[in-house]
Structure 1
Amino acid sequence: MELTDWIVLIGTLAAIVGYGTWKTRGSKSAEDYIKGGNSSKWWTIGLSVMATQASAITFLSTTGQAFSDGMGFVQFYFGVPIAMVIICMVFIPLYHKLKVYTAYEFLENRFDLKTRSLTAILFLIQRGLAAGITIFAPAIILSVVLGWNLVTLNIIIGVLVIIYTVSGGTKAVSVTQKQQMFIIFAGMFAAFFITLNLIPENIGFTKALDIAGASGKMNVLDFSFDLENRYTIWTGLIGGSFLALSYFGTDQSQVQRYLSGKSVKEMRWGMMFNGLLKVPMQFFILLVGIMVFVFYQFNPAPLNFIESSTEKVKASEYSEEYDALDKKQKILFNEKKAVSLQLAQSYNEADKQNLLRLDSIEKTYRAEAKYLIKRAIDPEYAEQFDQLSQEISKMKGNPNNPNYEEKSAELTQLYKDAAKDSETNDRDYMFISFILKHLPNGLIGLLLAVILSAAMSSTASEINALATITSMDLYKRNVKEEKDDAHYVNATKMFTLGWGILAIIIACFASLAENLIQLVNIIGSIFYGNVLGIFLLAFFFKKIKGNAVFVAALITQIAVVVVWWIDLMPYLWLNLFGCVLVIIIATIIQSTQKKVA
């Protein structure tokens, strides 16, 4: 990074923190601090809701998702517009009428204190983990790529967020998120057009899409009913709708954004703005990843985008194998480049099939590279792999050996483990590596500011919501003495500070998953369906009482965790499963209680 990049990066982040702190100084009442004085316009609400969801993971991981698997991930968001309509019709009028600070206040009015407290605690667990991940995600990647200290980065991101969130509360979060979304949009548009410009002159946008399509990256819609496939139009419309409905309707980090609106009309317009813009926004971010993929059809790409991992394997006993693989990759690149150029000149089926074949070979090379890196960094893994390989080799002379299939399955799992390891799985590193190596000075600083701004916006919403739930649903509800507004403002500030520090600690001890954006959505899916079911029981099942809901919620949460643990269904379906299960169990318990009575 050059001086220009540092000026752009530091200047942008300092401006956001300074503006947010100055603009919202002096919040005296709980109404002001927690609900932003109910003064937000629809565009502020819409941008704030989008910024809360669009974390750094969105830009680092979604682009990597497109690079590896194509555009199909956009189907995940197809349920958002459906959820927005339901939230505007049901949730917003009810929350506004009751004048609640949190979504969970309503549950005590409808059921009882223990149901309110349980639902609030489920939120605190889920969102507390997510807050740490939203800090950790950009920090781990920037630390590896830039050589910065990971703990220092976690602390910097966390402290910047804490400064203006503690100072100004909900209004500070909303105000700064407008600036952050402007920076995010500007940075991503700049990245898209500059990437397109870096592709050879005779390859325009349309031909770039043809090349991506020939490699299977432009398969946007999948109408199959295969439960093994995570992203189909059905998982998006059904599972995605339930996830979005629970996230935007019951997650305080989102509810708090639109509770700050001036009126029901402003809240509704803000949410519909988000619903209409969310899918195109995610489509565009994926498209940026596709353009980077096309760029690498004409420019050499490393076998693995994590340079530190490549250095480790090259310094190990596997260096010769890795170098041989690297040479094969370079030969393959030249062939792919020639076919891509040919495809751009005259698009035909033969060239398309050839490019698809070459892309498949490259994926194999990348998988082998991950396997070699894993062996280099983990001696126990290497020993286990060698032992299994030898056992299977001996069994090949006797294919009827009952242990053959079992040992082969274990070996296959070891290959999969290598692909998921935090030091081999480079999907989330692709975009930042591309930025640093191929984009001009100034834009590098802007895009790093985009990544850190996104991390800050999501984290700010999360710790703001966590503090509000802790203050209003747990602390205030259990304090016996009457306290004034100033007391609860100060208490919420202290809880904000506490959750911010806890998020930093979680970030320092977190570890990478197969894909960061999937990790966040998995955590949400484990809890959101159950919480949504509780709210639907409150809205539409008037005869069901608090005791039945409380017991049903406990049973459901255990069941969802077990189903996720044994990998019985794709994680998006957990939202539907949890929602339906808690409703069924609560209905059964309530009917049983009536019979006993």
Structure 2
Amino acid sequence: MTRLHPIDLAIVAAYLIGITLFGLRFRSQDKSLSSYFLGGKTIPWWAIALSIVSAETSTLTIVSIPGVAFTSNFGFLQLVIGYMIGRLIICILFLPRYFHGELFTAYQLIRNRFGSTLQTVTAGLFLITRAAAEGVRVFAISIVVGLAIGTNDILSIAIISALTLLYTFEGGMTAVIWTDVVQMTLYIAGTLVALITLGTHVPGGWSHIHEVASAAGKFHMLDFSFSLVKTYTFWAGILGGTFLTMASHGTDQLMVQRLLAAKDLKESRLALLASGGVVFVQFLLFLIIGAGLWVFYGMPIGGATPGFTSADRIFPSFIVREMPTGIAGLLIAAILAAAMSNLSAALNSLSSTTVVDFYMRLRPNATDKERTSLSRVSTGVWAVVLFAIAVYSVFVGGKGHVVEMGLSIASVAYGALLGVFLLGTLTKFATQAGAIAGMICGFAVNLTLWLISIKLLPSISWLPPIAYTWYVLIGSAVTVGVGSMVSMISSRTSLE
């Protein structure tokens, strides 16, 4: 099997060493939690915006989105439209509450509204599902490194995890965000290089690719059919995408932590809205690459992936086999940049939730030095956990697109989390008992839908496998509905 040229390998190695050393430059003598988890609230909005995009897209985007366009069309962009709407709602609904007081995590807001019990439940749910979803994302690293270097999957994961842990452990959120900026710049540049190079590999260039792909409907985006089974429709994109983003960027500590690192509410809003525009352009670029690869590999019919075990291997394989020496190394480094960016974000957010939402409640009088020391230990522990989940993913394998796999796992919990936040922000009558009951029901419903979709539960005749794009909307609706009902019943009972 074709591997990278030694020159390309040297470029990849130089990148890995260079970005690790760059991240280590942000080691600080400031032992405060604000410095370690929020960068001291001194990071400019544009850096936070790029960091949000890096954390949002990851290796899954780079290796998987071209595969989505290769096997289908541009329907995925319907979901991105919902991403934009969701950001606007977060700016209006959630961000003002996050900046009212000194908060380190999203779940402290839940404590302020409902109490410490629900804070523990929501934070615990975040830890479990974020770890599971990030494990799948770390697994995606092995696809790229295995094709490029020839190392086995487990060794690939171990190398990237260890290097990312090193600078995240030492530099905290400041190192995470500034390495995100460098890494995002690299993989966007790499994407543009890939577009140009792909055009030179097809006779007639991009004009011919456009003509052929357009005639085959590859650029078709809008599907106005209403279906809970189809993943990418206009309604799943607008409704499902909006609710998915409200949950992922409004209730998930991975994103909320970045928004809290802004110096004030205005800059936080600016960072979030700017990231939406960048995300749209980025997804569009990767989908265009997928359409180009479809033409390059002979326009296979029916979503076939000739010569590949999955569509996720098409773009990485093209880089390794077809790119000129030097360019291939740059692109593999760009993909690894996205991987390290997302992994560092996950480690820091998992650590912050562990320390702030659990340890600080058990030891409220602990010094900042003790808390920061535990934060670093927690970062290391979570690195081991994510490594273990990724290794498990290697053995069980993955069918379909890993980007959809990661999003579906995260969406199982997102519905319940978002429902609790909506109960807390939109109602005054909701109680902690009601919110917990709603959360349990919302999570149970989504978990059942997910288990049916991956065939771990038998499909019910009247309930076909529901597309993951609807999970958050369904889960949050159940959570709000049950939570409101239980709250009103319990309030009425207490009055009697």
CA deviation after TM superposition for structure 1 residue 141, in Å: 4.3
Distance 1:181 1:537, change over 3 A: same
Instruction: State the match for 2:89 in structure 1.
Output: 86
* 1:456 and 2:340 are equivalent in the alignment: yes
Gaps of 5+ in 1: 298-335, 337-358, 370-423
After TM superposition, list the pairs within 5 Å mapping 1:10-409 onto structure 2. 10-144=13-147, 146-200=149-203, 203-297=204-298, 359-360=300-301
2:483 aligns to what? 586
Matched to 2:235, the amino acid is: W
Q: Tell me whether 91-100 or 53-62 shows the greater mean CA deviation.
A: 91-100
Contact 1:63 1:288 in 2 (8 A): yes
- Could you tell me how far 1:145 is from its partner in structure 2? 5.8
| Contact 1:26–1:168 (8 Å) recurs in 2 | no
Q: 2:422 aligns with which of 509, 527, 536?
A: 536
Q: CA offsets, 1:37-77, max 9 Å, x none?
A: 00111111100000001211111011111111122122221
Instruction: Determine if contact 2:429/2:488 at 8 Å carries over to the other structure.
Output: no
| Per-residue deviation, 1:144 | 5.0
Give the counterpart of 2:440 among 539, 554, 557: 554
Q: Name whichever of 583-592 and 242-251 sits farther off.
A: 583-592
CA distance in 2, matches of 1:478, 1:515: 41
Give the direction of change, closer, same or farther, for the CA distance of 1:181–1:141 in structure 2 (3 Å limit). closer
Distance (Å, rounded) in 1 between the aligned partners of 2:110 and 2:98: 11
Compared CA separation, residues 552 and 53, structure 1 to 2 (3 A): same
User: Residue 542 of structure 1 aligns to a residue in which SS?
Assistant: coil
Q: TM-score, normalized by length of structure 1?
A: 0.78
Whether the aligned pair in 1 keeps the contact of 2:70 and 2:303 (CA below 8 Å) is: no
Distance 2:238 2:320 in 1: 37
Q: Tell me the CA shift for residue 23 of structure 1.
A: 2.7
The whole-number CA distance in structure 1 between the counterparts of 2:229 and 2:483 is 30
Q: Is contact 1:80-1:240 (8 Å) kept? A: yes
Match of 1:438 among 306, 322, 325: 322
Q: Comparing 126-135 with 557-566, which one deviates more in the overlay?
A: 557-566
- Point out 4+ residue stretches in structure 1 off by more than 6 angstroms: none
- The yes-or-no answer on 1:465 pairing with 2:466 is no
Are the aligned partners of 1:436 and 1:444 in contact in 2 as well (CA < 8 Å)? yes
Instruction: Find the counterpart in structure 1 of residue 459 from structure 2.
Output: none
Q: Contact 1:131–1:463 at 8 Å: present in 2 too?
A: no
Cα distance in structure 2, aligned partners of 1:112 and 1:256: 21
- Judge conservation of contact 1:8–1:446 (CA < 8 Å) in 2: yes
Q: Is the CA contact 2:138–2:343 (under 8 Å) kept in the aligned structure 1?
A: yes
3-state secondary structure, aligned to 1:262: coil
Q: Which amino acid aligns with 1:548?
A: G
Q: TM-score, normalised by structure 2?
A: 0.93
Cα deviation for residue 171 of structure 1 reads 0.8
CA distance in structure 1 between the aligned counterparts of 2:490 and 2:145, rounded to whole angstroms: 56
User: Given that residues 157 and 456 in structure 1 are in contact (C-alpha distance below 8 angstroms), is that contact kept between their aligned partners in structure 2?
Assistant: yes
Radius of gyration: which is bigger?
1
| Superposed CA offset, 1:356-409 (max 9, x none) | xxx43x75795xx8xxxxxxxxxxxxxxxxxxxxxxxxxxxxxxxxxxxxxxxx
Amino acid in structure 2 at the alignment position of 1:442? G
2: distance between equivalents of 1:254 and 1:363?
34
Contact 2:305-2:311 at 8 Å conserved across structures: no
Confirm or deny: 8 A CA contact 1:556 1:582 kept in the other structure. Answer: yes
Matched, 1:498 2:395: no
Question: CA 1:107–1:440 in structure 2 vs 1: closer, same or farther (change >3 Å)?
Answer: same
Task: Give % identity.
Answer: 31
Q: What is the distance in 1 between the residues matched to 2:143 and 2:84?
A: 33
> For residues 540-590 of structure 1, what are the alpha-carbon distances to aligned partners after superposition, in whole Å with 9 as ceiling and x for unaligned?
111111111112211221122113323442111111111111111011111
Contact 2:228 2:470 in 1 (8 A): no
For the 8 Å contact 1:27–1:168, the answer to whether it is kept is no
The aligned amino acid for 1:528 is Y
CA deviation map 1:66-112 (0-9, x unaligned): 11112212222111111111111222221111220001001111101
Q: What is the rounded CA distance, in whole Å, between the counterparts of 2:27 and 2:70 in structure 1? A: 40
